[in-house]
Amino acid sequence: MNPVLDPSVYRDRRAALGAAVGGPVLLMGNGLQPRNLPLNALPFRQDSTFLHFTGCGVPGAAAVLDEGRCELFLPLPAPDDGLWHGQLEGPEALRARFGVDQVRAAEELESACAGRRLVSMAVSDPRATARLARLTGQAWAWGETHGDEVLVDAVIRLRRTRDAADIEAHRESARVTALAHCAAMAATHPGGHEREIAALFDAVVASQGCVTAYDSIVTVRGEILHNPHHDNPLCAGDLLLLDGGAELSSGHCTDVTRTWPVSGTWAPRQASAYAAVLAAQEAAIASCRPGTRYRDVHLTSARVLTRWLVDEGLVKGPVDDAVAAGAHAIFYPHGCGHLLGLDVHDLEQFGDRAAYAPGATRSEQFGLCYLRLDLPLEPGILVTVEPGFYVAPAILDDPALRAQLGAWVDFDAARDWVGFGGIRVEDDVLVTPGAPDVLTASIPKTLEAVAGLVGSGPTPAERLGL
């Protein structure tokens, strides 16, 4: 509920939005959604655009911006709320907290909007979007028709680059994420379990007053890119992949992946592959400079990884030709990264409209078609850089891919790698006027630093005295 950033930051953002739109704006927040009983709600997450322009994390909120003023509509405390929820702030205290011109009861929104031509956009809460449609006469759809064209384009432009206040908040999120990743590495021992490491990671994030930015991926089956399960024991010889990040109450989040050997010792094949992924990542990070097209950041990582794939006999050269054919995608099938901000895949509900330059279209080539971002980079853009190497039987056994890329990939040699799992190394990179700024650089990722940290602390069970 409490804004992390100074209210003046949000006032300036609303002023910029009003100037861009040129008329009254209705912004809706998300409401609580019941898990089963109305009293038992799903975890609440405020709409990110609403957060960006108001800092208000109250469920069921709305805001009307008009002629430089902001009226915030909130569910105000009921007479008996003190019994159930403790003493809550009234309208004047809330007005000062959020730096708005007036706080009104949520029930007054209909009368405040009556007879006004308001531009708006959908939110992920279907009930809030339905209410918005009744108020404006516009039936927008989350992730589809989005909202008023001028408003949507203004929101994308104003949210896509991070200002100084955003950057400091992301640094704080990165600090918390570093604590959690380091704790997870130190607690990893053969004989443990994925679910123990997942629980520890999430607990460290919670201990710092944050939530996880997404469901943490903690798995020895790293070849499954978005593996939601924590079902496996940790055995010597396994690689453990952890993709997780912290989110502040303001919505600012982090997205980091590290991969490490469960035993704390790299097997030769693991060390070789890891070094190749890390080299690909470092080359891609170095290319994150103003004016560079993000597709070229991706292709930089692909070329570095492919040099190693050729050396290992998994892909046939020349390297540039193999990359042009998409041969590397058999082992690196996703894009190099995405925008990061108040959502872990920031602005992705707007599709390629927010992430691709005007006139740019997605490739139809396997692998490259999954590139989430293809914009010329500019100062203030925050991106993830996350190349990987995966040995996924579902890809190796795909008849269409084998026919298409059989001249470039030694599929028989690749079968010898089945069971290896996957490696991904991911950091959050701020584009600056000069060198890229890696906000998550404090989280160990060299071969030596990772090996030195893994297993250096008690197991999660030992921490709990179990």
Q: What is the pLDDT of residues 167-204, one digit of tens each?
A: 999 999 999 999 999 999 999 999 999 999 999 999 99
How many helices (H) and strands (E) in the chain?
18, 15
As for how many domains the chain has, the answer is 2
Q: Which two structure tokens, joined as six digits, stand for 248?
A: 């502040």
End residue of a domain, out of 110, 132, 160: 160
Residues 182 and 142 in one domain: no
Residues 363 and 266 in one domain: yes
Q: Where are the alpha helices (DSSP H) in 141-250?
A: 149-160, 164-186, 194-207
Residues 121 and 256 in one domain: no
pTM of the model: 0.96
**Residue 63 in domain:** yes
CA separation (Å) from 74 to 56, 77, 94, 180?
Answer: 10, 9, 9, 35
**Residue 2 in domain:** no
User: 146 falls in which pLDDT band (50, 70, 90)?
Assistant: very high
User: 3 falls in which pLDDT band (50, 70, 90)?
Assistant: very low
Cis peptide upstream of residue 318 (ω within 30 degrees of 0):
yes
- 4-55 pLDDT, tens digit per residue, is 699 999 999 999 999 999 999 999 999 999 999 888 999 999 999 999 999 9
User: 2 falls in which pLDDT band (50, 70, 90)?
Assistant: very low
Looking at per-residue confidence, does 359 or 327 come out higher?
327
Q: Are strands 102-105 and 69-74 parallel, antiparallel or unpaired?
A: parallel
Q: Are strands 119-120 and 25-28 parallel, antiparallel or unpaired?
A: parallel
End residue of a domain, out of 160, 192, 212: 160
End residue of a domain, out of 132, 160, 188: 160
Q: In angstroms, rounded to a whole number, what is the distance separating the alpha carbons of residues 456 and 187?
A: 7
Residues 265 and 171 in one domain: yes
Residues 230 and 279 in one domain: yes
Per-residue pLDDT, 86: 82
Residues 67 and 205 in one domain: no
Q: Which residue type is seen at 390?
A: Y
**Residue 106 in domain:** yes
Residues 198 and 340 in one domain: yes
Residues 83 and 206 in one domain: no
Q: The domain that contains 271 carries what CATH number?
A: 3.90.230.10
Assess contact for 83 and 90: CB atoms under 8 A: no
Q: What is the mean pLDDT of the chain?
A: 96
Looking at per-residue confidence, does 161 or 76 come out higher?
161
Average pLDDT over residues 434-443: 98
Residues 90 and 151 in one domain: yes
Q: In angstroms, rounded to a whole number, what is the distance separating the alpha carbons of residues 341 and 160?
A: 8
Is 127's pLDDT higher than 60?
yes
Please state, as a whole number, how many other Cβ atoms lie within 10 Å of the Cβ of residue 231.
12
- 260-313 pLDDT, tens digit per residue, is 999 999 999 999 999 999 999 999 999 999 999 999 999 999 999 999 999 999
Residues 61 and 118 in one domain: yes
Q: In angstroms, rounded to a whole number, what is the distance separating the alpha carbons of residues 259 and 241?
A: 4
Please state, as a whole number, how many other Cβ atoms lie within 10 Å of the Cβ of residue 165.
18
**Residue 1 in domain:** no
Per-residue pLDDT, 84: 78
Per-residue pLDDT, 1: 37
Nearest to 431 by CA among 155, 193, 162: 162
Residues 194 and 228 in one domain: yes
Is 77's pLDDT higher than 90?
no
Task: Give just the sign of the alpha carbon dihedral 15, 21, 25, 29.
Answer: negative
Residues 65 and 205 in one domain: no
Q: In angstroms, rounded to a whole number, what is the distance separating the alpha carbons of residues 288 and 311?
A: 27
Per-residue pLDDT, 85: 78
**Residue 109 in domain:** yes
Q: The domain that contains 67 carries what CATH number?
A: 3.40.350.10
Per-residue pLDDT, 466: 83
Range(s) of the domain holding residue 424: 164-464
Q: For the chain, what's the residue count?
A: 466
